[in-house]
C-alpha cells in the first residue's frame, strides 16, 4: 500500500514546534506527518562535525521512515529549505512536490557568505545579543508587537544552543551546493512561499530564482518578513492545503 508522507523541515535556530500552529490548519487526512530535527537543534540529534549537505540529509532521513513505493511532499523553512533542495535526491521517484518556504535552492553569493561568517563571529562574541538581534529582525517590524510572545519563546529556545551549533550550521549553508541546475531538471511541482519584507530571502532575489525555473509557482504574502508560519499562519496553511491537494490529486492549484 502506497503511503503519503509530508515532511516539514524547520530552519536554523528553530525546532519542530514552529509548525504547530499551521498543522492545526493543514489537512492531515491520509498523511504521515514528519517533523525531523536539524542536527544540533535537539538532544536526540547532535551536531555532526561536518559541513556537508549530504551528511545533513542523511541525518534527517534517519528520522523518517519512507518505504520504496511511498510518496513524499517536502516543505522546508529557510535552512530547512536549503537542505530540502538536496534531500530530494535521497528519495528518487518518490517526490510529489517541494515547497521552499521562505527559502531558495540557489547557493549563497559572496555578500551572503561574508554575512554568515560575521554571524559566526558574533555568536562566539555574544551569543545572547546575536540570537536576540537575529531572531527579532526576521519578523516584519509592524508585526513584532503582536507576535512578541512567539519572538520571546524562539529567542529562549535559540539561546540554549551552543555557539558551535551556529558555527556548523552557518558553514553548512555557506558550503551547500547550488541546486538551481538540478531543480531545472526536476520531475515534480515546485512551489515558493515568500514574504514581501523578508530580510533573509530578499523578494527580488527569490523572484529571479523563480523566473529561472520553468513551471515553478510562487505566492508572495504582503506585509510579512521571514516567519510566515507565525506572521501569516492562515494564508500559509491555506496555500499548503492547495498545493498538497494539487500534488496528490493531480489537479491545478
Range of the domain at 68: 4-107+178-249
0.85 exceeded by pTM: yes
C-alpha distance from residue 90 to each of 60, 132, 138, 152, 224 (Å): 10, 35, 30, 36, 32
Q: Is 70 domain-assigned?
A: yes
Burial zone of 111 (CB within 10 Å; 0-12 exposed, 13-18 middle, 19+ buried): exposed
Q: Is 137 domain-assigned?
A: no
Q: Is 187 domain-assigned?
A: yes
Do residues 234 and 151 make contact, with C-beta atoms less than 8 angstroms apart?
Answer: no
User: Please, what's the b/e burial string for 53-72 (b: 16 or more CB within 10 A of its CB; e: otherwise)?
Assistant: beebbebbeeebebeeebbb
Do residues 32 and 4 make contact, with C-beta atoms less than 8 angstroms apart?
Answer: yes
**pLDDT at position 247:** 87
> Helices in 5-71 by DSSP H: which ranges?
20-23, 53-61
Q: Is 199 domain-assigned?
A: yes
Q: Domain holding 216: CATH number?
A: 3.40.50.1820
**How many domains would you assign to the chain?**
1
Q: Is 121 domain-assigned?
A: no
Residues 186 and 89: their CA atoms lie apart, in Å, by 10
Q: Is 162 domain-assigned?
A: no
Nearest CA to 5 out of 73, 69, 52, 78 is that of 73
**pLDDT at position 250:** 57
Query: Which single residue is written with the C-alpha cell 527579532?
Result: 136
For the chain, list residues with pLDDT below 70. Answer: 250-253
Burial zone of 230 (CB within 10 Å; 0-12 exposed, 13-18 middle, 19+ buried): buried
**pLDDT at position 60:** 97
> Helices in 67-145 by DSSP H: which ranges?
79-87, 110-125, 127-136
Angle at 55 between CA 106 and CA 201, to 5 degrees: 25
**pLDDT at position 249:** 73
Amino acid at each position: 500500500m502506497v503511503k503519503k508522507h509530508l515532511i516539514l523541515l524547520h530552519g536554523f535556530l528553530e525546532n519542530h514546534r514552529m509548525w504547530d500552529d499551521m498543522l492545526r490548519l493543514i489537512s492531515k487526512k491520509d498523511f504521515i506527518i514528519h517533523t525531523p530535527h536539524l542536527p544540533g537543534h535537539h538532544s536526540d540529534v547532535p551536531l555532526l562535525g561536518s559541513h556537508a549537505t549530504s551528511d545533513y540529509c542523511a541525518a534527517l532521513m534517519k528520522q523518517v521512515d519512507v518505504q520504496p513505493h511511498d510518496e513524499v511532499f517536502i516543505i522546508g523553512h529557510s535552512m530547512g529549505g536549503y537542505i530540502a533542495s538536496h534531500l530530494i535526491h535521497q528519495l528518487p521517484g518518490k517526490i510529489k512536490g517541494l515547497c521552499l518556504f521562505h527559502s531558495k535552492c540557489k547557493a549563497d553569493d559572496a555578500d551572503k557568505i561574508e554575512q554568515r561568517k560575521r554571524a559566526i563571529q558574533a555568536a562566539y562574541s555574544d551569543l545572547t545579543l546575536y540570537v536576540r538581534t537575529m531572531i527579532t529582525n526576521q519578523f516584519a517590524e509592524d508585526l513584532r508587537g503582536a507576535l512578541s510572545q512567539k519572538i520571546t519563546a524562539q529567542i529562549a529556545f535559540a539561546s540554549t544552543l551552543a555557539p558551535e551549533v551556529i558555527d556548523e550550521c552557518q558553514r553548512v549553508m555557506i558550503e551547500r551546493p547550488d541546486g538551481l541546475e538540478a531543480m531545472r531538471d526536476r520531475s515534480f511541482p515546485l512551489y515558493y512561499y515568500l514574504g514581501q519584507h523578508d530580510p533573509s530571502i530578499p523578494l527580488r532575489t527569490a523572484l529571479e530564482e523563480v523566473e529561472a525555473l520553468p513551471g515553478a509557482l510562487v505566492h508572495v504574502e504582503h506585509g510579512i518578513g521571514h516567519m510566515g508560519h507565525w506572521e501569516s499562519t492562515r494564508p500559509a496553511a491555506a496555500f499548503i492545503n492547495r498545493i498538497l491537494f494539487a500534488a496528490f490529486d493531480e489537479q491545478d492549484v
